[in-house]
Structure 1
Amino acid sequence: MRFMATYDLMETTRNTNQWLGATALAFGSYPAMAMLPNPMLSWIRAWGEVTERSFARMVARPDWGIPSVTGPDGRDHPVEVETALSKPFGDLVHFNVTGRTEAKRRVLLVAPMSGHYATLLRSTVISLLPDCDVYITDWHNAREIPVSEGKFDIEDYTLYLLDFMKHLGSDLNVIAVCQPAPLALAATALLAEEDPKAQPRTLTLIGGPIDPDANATDVTDFGRRVTMGQLEETMIQRVGFKYPGVGRMVYPGLLQLASFMSMNAEKHTKAFTDQILRTAKGEASDHDKHNGFYDEYLAVMDMTAEFYLSTVERIFKGREIADNAFTVAGRTVDIGKITSVAVKIVEGENDDISAPGQCLAALPLLTGVPDSKKAAHLEPGAGHYGIFAGKSWRKNIRPLVLDFIDTNRETTSRTKPANKNAAA
Structure 2
Amino acid sequence: MRNMATYDFMETFRNTSQWMGATARTMASYPAMSVIPNPAMQWLSAWGEVAERSFARMAVKPDWNIRTITCEDGRDHLVSVDTVVNKDFGDLIHFNVNGRTEQPRKILLVAPMSGHYATLLRSTVISLISNCEVYVTDWHNARDIPVSAGKFDIEDYTLYLVDFMRHLGPDTHVIAVCQPAPLTLAATAYLAEEDPKAQPRSLTLIGGPIDPDATPTDVTDFGRRVTMGQLEETMIQRVGFKYPGVGRQVYPGLLQLTSFISMNSDRHAKAFNEQIMRVARGEASDHDAHNRFYDEYLSVMDMPAEFYLSTVERIFKNGEIAKNEFVVAGKHVDIGKITSVAVKTVEGANDDISAPGQCVAALALCTGLPDSKKASHLEPGAGHYGIFAGKSWRNNIRPLVLEFIDANSGSKPVSANTNNAA
Instruction: Pick the TM interval, shorter chain.
Output: over 0.9
Q: Distance in 1 between matches of 2:2 and 2:186?
A: 32
Tell me the SS of whatever aligns to 1:234.
helix
Contact 1:2 1:236 in 2 (8 A): no
Give the Å deviation of 1:137.
Answer: 0.2
Q: Which residue pairs with 2:268 in the alignment?
A: 268
Percent of aligned pairs sharing the same letter: 77
The residue that corresponds to 1:35 in the other structure is: 35
Aligned partners of 2:59 and 2:299 also within 8 Å: yes
| Correspondence 1:292-331 to 2 at 5 A | 292-331=292-331
State how far apart, in whole Å, the 1-side matches of 2:32 and 2:317 are: 60
Unaligned runs of 5+ in 1: 414-424
1:390 deviates by: 1.4
Q: Give the match for residue 24 of structure 1.
A: 24
1:77-130 CA-to-partner distances (Å, cap 9, x unmatched) read 111110000000000001111110111200000000001111111111111000
Which residue in the other structure is 2:156 paired with? Answer: 156
2:348 equivalent to 1:339: no
Shift of 1:412: 8.2
- Asked whether the equivalents of residues 201 and 412 of structure 2 are also in contact (C-alpha less than 8 Å), the reply is no
What is the distance in 1 between the residues matched to 2:3 and 2:274?
37
1:15-414 alignment, distance < 5 Å:
15-411=15-411
Work out the CA distance in 1 between the residues paired with 2:395 and 2:292.
Answer: 20
Contact conserved, 2:339 with 2:368, CA < 8 A, in 1?
Answer: yes
Give secondary structure in 1 for the equivalent of 2:213: helix
Separation in 2, partners of 1:163, 1:412: 20
Q: Deviations over 1:47-74 (max 9, x none)?
A: 0010000000000010111111112221
Counterpart residue type for residue 375 of structure 2:
A
Q: 1:73, 1:178 → 2: CA distance?
A: 33
Give, as a single letter, the amino acid of the residue that structure 2 aligns with 1:69: I
How far apart are the structure 2 equivalents of 1:401 and 1:129? 14
Q: Which runs of 4+ in 1 moved over 6 A?
A: none
Q: Which residue type is aligned with residue 34 of structure 1?
A: S
1:411 Cα deviation after fit: 4.3
CA shift at 1:229, angstroms?
Answer: 0.1
SS of alignment partner, residue 219 of structure 2: helix
TM-aligned CA deviation for residue 33 of structure 1: 2.0
Structure 2 distance, partners of 1:197, 1:335, is: 17
Residue deviations 1:329-375, cap 9 Å, x none? 00000000111111110111111111111101101000111111111
CA distance in 2, matches of 1:165, 1:358: 24
The offset of 1:197, in angstroms, is: 2.7
Q: Which runs of 5+ in 2 are unaligned?
A: 414-422
Instruction: Call closer, same or farther: CA 1:2–1:127 in 2, change over 3 Å.
Output: farther
The aligned counterpart of 2:420 is none
RMSD: 1.1
Distance in 1 separating the partners of 2:234 and 2:75: 53
Letter of the 1:305 counterpart = A
CA contact (8 A) 1:77 1:99 kept: yes
Check whether the contact 1:2–1:233 (CA below 8 A) recurs between aligned residues: no
Which secondary structure state, in structure 2, belongs to the residue aligned with residue 62 of structure 1?
coil
Q: Which amino acid aligns with 2:18?
A: Q
Counterpart amino acid of residue 395 in structure 1 = N
SS at structure 2 position matched to 1:91: strand
Give the secondary structure class of the aligned counterpart of 1:162: helix
| Offset, 1:395 | 1.2
Deviations 1:116-161 (A, max 9, x none): 1111111111110001100000000000000000000000000000
CA contact (8 A) 1:386 1:393 kept: yes
Partner residue in 2 for 1:419: none
Cα-to-partner distance string for 1:195-244 (whole Å, 9 max, x where unaligned): 22321111000000000011111111111100000000000000000000
CA distance in 2, matches of 1:217, 1:131: 37
Per-residue Cα deviation, 1:370-412 (whole angstroms, up to 9, x for no partner): 1111111111111111111111111111111111111111148
Q: Distance in 1 between matches of 2:2 and 2:146?
A: 17
Counterpart Cα distance in 1 of 2:278 and 2:395: 30
* CA shift digits 1:11-32 (9 cap, x unpaired): 0011111011101110111122
Q: Which amino acid aligns with 1:77?
A: H
Of residues 224-233 and 98-107 in structure 1, the stretch that sits farther from structure 2 once superposed is 98-107
